[in-house]
Structure 1
Amino acid sequence: MSMDIKQIQDLIKFVSKSGVNEVSIEEKDFKITIKTNQEPTYVTATVPAAIPAAAPVQAVPTAPATTAPVTSAAPASDDSKYITIKSPMIGTFYRSPGPDKPSFVNVGDEISTGKALCIIEAMKLFNEIESEVSGKIVKILVNDAQPVEYDQPLFLVDPN
């Protein structure tokens, strides 16, 4: 696997948007590490073929996501009966298989185990995410083409 400059730039943009601190990819003839620690993002790549040295890419510093503890003082929220479907990976969330195609699922749709719910694109690989539960989609928690974290909630499902 070797990456061209465009793929490396896309990867840098993706990493800086996703909020992760470091990504490292290593193949037998290729290694790339991208670190973001609220400082400018620098890329270190060692490839046998000579790639012109790119100037360090400045990324907008992203503050680490702080999760405030949720106080369950209000038992009025009935979200507890819903099943949350979470992202199995870091990537970009897509609701449909293509720009002019209909969404895999919409709020109110009945889903069953094995039904394709969305696509998560990571490093130009499009991974179809299938449901592990049956029920009805109550809420879609992520916008189309939005970056998602590992374990980030994507859908709320009312099990039936």
Structure 2
Amino acid sequence: MDIKEIQSLIKFVAKSGASEVKLEMEDIKITIKTGGEASETTIIQAAAPMATAPQMIAQAPVAQQAAPAPAAASANTEDDSKYVTIKSPIIGTFYRKPSPDKPSFVEVGSTVNAGDTVCVIEAMKLFNEIESEVSGKIVKVLVDDSSPVEFDQPLFLVDPS
């Protein structure tokens, strides 16, 4: 994670209204606390030699399972290269509908304009509306409803033409 990603994360947390966010990855821990106008950020980056060996063992089967996927993914990326990807700006639970009894924000084939809400992501009991950054037609929904999503995970493919 580089400094630009960290700065982007801090800005996003400040805009979201969340009071505290903790993010732990393999070699970095980030805690962002906001309160009023001041915000506090703590970044701890450490690589523990003891934790490295078990992680390598645990990751080996995952690498073997993922090996066939890149071959299939490379064929899809050639087809999908003309599309714009709408990605998740936060970690949370993805919902296609504003509530269970309402219709989905968008379907495959729907036309969206920049600024239109395409989904909501629930994070820490807050429902964040995710807006399209591009105008075009929804070609593919990449995430199932009510499933967890990661930061920067692709959600939709949009044909801008």
With normalisation by structure 2, the TM-score equals: 0.57
Instruction: For residue 74 of structure 1, report the CA deviation from its aligned partner.
Output: 4.7
CA distance in 1, matches of 2:99, 2:88: 19
1:151 aligns to what? 152
Alignment of 1:76-95 (within 5 A): 77-95=78-96
1:111 aligns to what? 112
Gaps of 5+ in 2: 1-21, 36-57
- The verdict on how the C-alpha distance between 1:76 and 1:147 changes in structure 2, with shifts beyond 3 A counting, is closer
Question: What is the number of residues matched between the two proteins?
Answer: 109
- The verdict on how the C-alpha distance between 1:129 and 1:27 changes in structure 2, with shifts beyond 3 A counting, is closer
Instruction: For residue 82 of structure 1, report the CA deviation from its aligned partner.
Output: 0.5
2:11 aligns to what? none
1:130 aligns to what? 131
Query: Once the two structures are aligned, what percentage of the paired residues are identical?
Result: 61
Q: Which amino acid aligns with 2:118?
A: L
- The verdict on how the C-alpha distance between 1:20 and 1:142 changes in structure 2, with shifts beyond 3 A counting, is farther
What SS does the corresponding residue of 2:157 show, helix, strand or coil?
strand
CA distance in 2, matches of 1:116, 1:94: 12
With normalisation by structure 1, the TM-score equals: 0.57
CA distance in 2, matches of 1:110, 1:129: 16
CA distance in 1, matches of 2:85, 2:104: 19
Instruction: For residue 78 of structure 1, report the CA deviation from its aligned partner.
Output: 1.6
2:122 aligns to what? 121
CA distance in 1, matches of 2:99, 2:122: 12
- The verdict on how the C-alpha distance between 1:124 and 1:20 changes in structure 2, with shifts beyond 3 A counting, is farther
Alignment of 1:1-150 (within 5 A): 70=70, 74=75, 77-150=78-151
Instruction: For residue 80 of structure 1, report the CA deviation from its aligned partner.
Output: 0.5
Q: Which amino acid aligns with 1:117?
A: V
CA distance in 1, matches of 2:146, 2:121: 9
In proportion to residue count, which structure has more helix?
Answer: 2
CA distance in 2, matches of 1:92, 1:116: 16
Instruction: For residue 73 of structure 1, report the CA deviation from its aligned partner.
Output: 6.6
Instruction: For residue 153 of structure 1, report the CA deviation from its aligned partner.
Output: 0.3
CA distance in 2, matches of 1:152, 1:20: 16
Instruction: For residue 26 of structure 1, report the CA deviation from its aligned partner.
Output: 5.5
- The verdict on how the C-alpha distance between 1:157 and 1:75 changes in structure 2, with shifts beyond 3 A counting, is closer
Instruction: For residue 23 of structure 1, report the CA deviation from its aligned partner.
Output: 7.8
What SS does the corresponding residue of 1:129 show, helix, strand or coil?
strand
Provide Cα deviations, 1:20-45, integer angstroms capped at 9, x if missing partner: 677857578xxxxxxxxxxxxxxxxx
